[in-house]
Structure 1
Amino acid sequence: MELTQTNAQGCTRQRSVGPQDPHADPAPLKQACVGPYLLALPQNYFDNQIGTEHDGSFALALEYPSLQPFKPGARRTVNKDIFAQTLSINYSYVDRIDVRQSLRNAYTPMAFEQDDPAASLALRLQGEDVHGLAPYYADMERIRGYRRARGLAENAPGMQDRSHRDWYVARDRNGDIQTIIKCTSRGVTESGVRFSEGRMIRSGERELPECDHFFILPEYRIRARVTYVRAALKDWHRIEQRAGELLVGSIGKK
């Protein structure tokens, strides 16, 4: 096996060869590439707690609400509590289109979606600000009517609240969207979690509403996607800042 791997943007990382110990403490540094940028992070920051996958892909995992990495080896068996606590971070280098366009694509309907009430801001229900975000709620009455007209059965998953997302946006000084967060519809009222001794754990509720949080780091041409439980939405700004600083602070380390 080659000891290094170089990606399409010319970033070369050292590969981890042989058996890896996710319980190693202190956790050794592992390298990863995001586009042309070489990152180095303690291996317990990685989702699998041993580094990148064989092809160089990776996700990072932090614990909510601390936003710190899990202890070495803690994620080798992911139980329901660890699953709920996990804040998953993915970074994508955008080089084929403008990085700002990549964010716009997250809230701009495709040509065939122009009249789909689930696919655009304009056909959603705008509400009062929540946690400093402007909400655009899924209009479930309109969505069901749209799908019903296209022959979808009343009991189909696409007719259920849990299948749809409310959108929350933050804008810059020019009014342009700089953050968009898509969370399980407010029609799902359960949080799925509770707090015990400062730790978030699964409740006995069936549902576990989640959010996908998108933002960009324009100077690096990177789009970030962070996934977490909806109960963490109130900390979206802290989460975004942490995910951005984690990337930037890891670039160029040896």
Structure 2
Amino acid sequence: MALPAHRLLIALLLPLAACARQPEPKPVERTQTNEQGCTRQRSIGPQDPFANPAPLKQACLGPHLLEIPQNYFYNQIGTEHDGSYALALEYPSLEPFKPGERMGLTTDVSIRTVTIDYRYIDRIELSEAMRRSYIPMDYKKDEPQENLETRIAGEKLYDLSPYFVNMDLVRAYYRSRGYNEDARVMSPDRHTDWYIKKDDAGKVQTVIKCTSREVTSSGVEYHDGKLVKSRGYGFAKCSHTFMIAPLSTLVLVDYPREGLDHWKEIERRARDMLTKFNVEERKESH
């Protein structure tokens, strides 16, 4: 049955009235201020990761404002919407990837990526944050792979003190808890060897955790001077943690195990970039 004319008119006008009541969209915030009072300019609108020369993008590290060419960012665009970010360099050159080179990320490009994550620490002491990288949480304190004391201490290597995973202890521990022999935790590729650097006072300055030495295949090879994935499953890698005390910053770096003997150079590069990109540092140097 057809609607009366006045009801039909009301039905037609209701959607228009609803549209009219829609609130105006909020203007996009062009700046973002973090908890420590650092205010950065946000990148608004479509981004071009292939732009060359790469434009500068702002990021915050605690209260410190940084200006970084966008091709240094892991995503080669800039910070994420919440202001978080990581940087990426190419191994072994430790130079940034070319603009747009990390778009459509391939396995080979991923393999040779050195990822650098700067974390400003202000809720706990920086030394405590560092300590947590090699002291187990209470619920893991009985696991032999989580303790320096139940690892195999080795001779100095690359000016680092090695603590190799003791797979005999690891397997015995998990057998005692009912794990099967084919459980993943029984395999060396699930564990890391630790390499520690201490200062003259015995304070831990650097912790590097790498795929176990029992995994002899690196999983990488060189083609035309570029590090690429070799045949086979997985690849050996390292996770490297150190402190930059003046900036109250913990630095976490990931790279292929090939880079272990270049750990000092990698650490130096990560430090130097913070100085280079720090807006305050640049002003003081001029």
TM over 0.5: yes
In structure 1, stretches of 5+ residues that fail to align are none
> Which segments of structure 1 move beyond 3 Å, counting only runs of 4 or more?
none
Match of 1:24 among 47, 51, 71: 51
Q: Among all aligned residue pairs of Structure 1 and Structure 2, give the percentage whose two residues are the same amino acid.
A: 50
Q: Distance in 2 between matches of 1:195 and 1:237?
A: 22
Aligned twin of 2:22:
none
1:63 to 90, 100, 105: 90
1:171 CA drift (Å): 1.1
2:36 paired with 1:9: yes
- In structure 2, which of residues 164, 167, 185 is the aligned counterpart of residue 158 of structure 1? 185
SS of residue matched to 2:150: coil
The count of residues paired between Structure 1 and Structure 2 equals 254
CA contact (8 A) 1:49 1:73 kept: yes
Q: Could you list the per-position Cα deviations for residues 129-158 of structure 1 after superposition, in whole angstroms to 9, with x for gaps in the alignment?
A: 122211100001101111111122221211
Instruction: Identify which of 136, 139, 143 aligns with 2:166.
Output: 139
The alpha carbon displacement at 1:125 in A equals 0.2
Of residues 213, 219, 225, the one that matches 1:198 is 225
Q: Offset of 1:247 from its aligned partner? A: 1.4
CA–CA distance in structure 2, aligned partners of residues 201 and 15 of structure 1: 35
* Shift in Å, 1:111: 2.4
**What is the root-mean-square deviation in Å for CA atoms of aligned residues?**
1.2
* Superimposed CA distance per residue, residues 171-211 of structure 1 (whole angstroms, 9 cap, x where no aligned partner): 11112110000011111110111122322111123230111
Which structure 2 residues correspond to residues 178-189 of structure 1 after superposition, within 5 A?
Answer: 178-189=205-216
Task: Please give the alpha-carbon distance, in whole angstroms, between the structure 1 residues aligned to 2:157 and 2:222.
Answer: 22
Give the distance between the partners of 1:57 and 1:166, measured in 2 at CA.
Answer: 29
1:116 correspondence with 2:143 = yes
Matched, 1:224 2:251: yes
Whichever residue aligns with residue 97 of structure 1, its letter is I
- When normalised by structure 2's length, the TM-score is 0.86
Structure number with greater CO (CA < 8 Å, separation at least 6) is: 1
User: 2: distance between equivalents of 1:119 and 1:206?
Assistant: 25
Q: Computing the radius of gyration over CA atoms, which structure comes out larger, 1 or 2?
A: 2
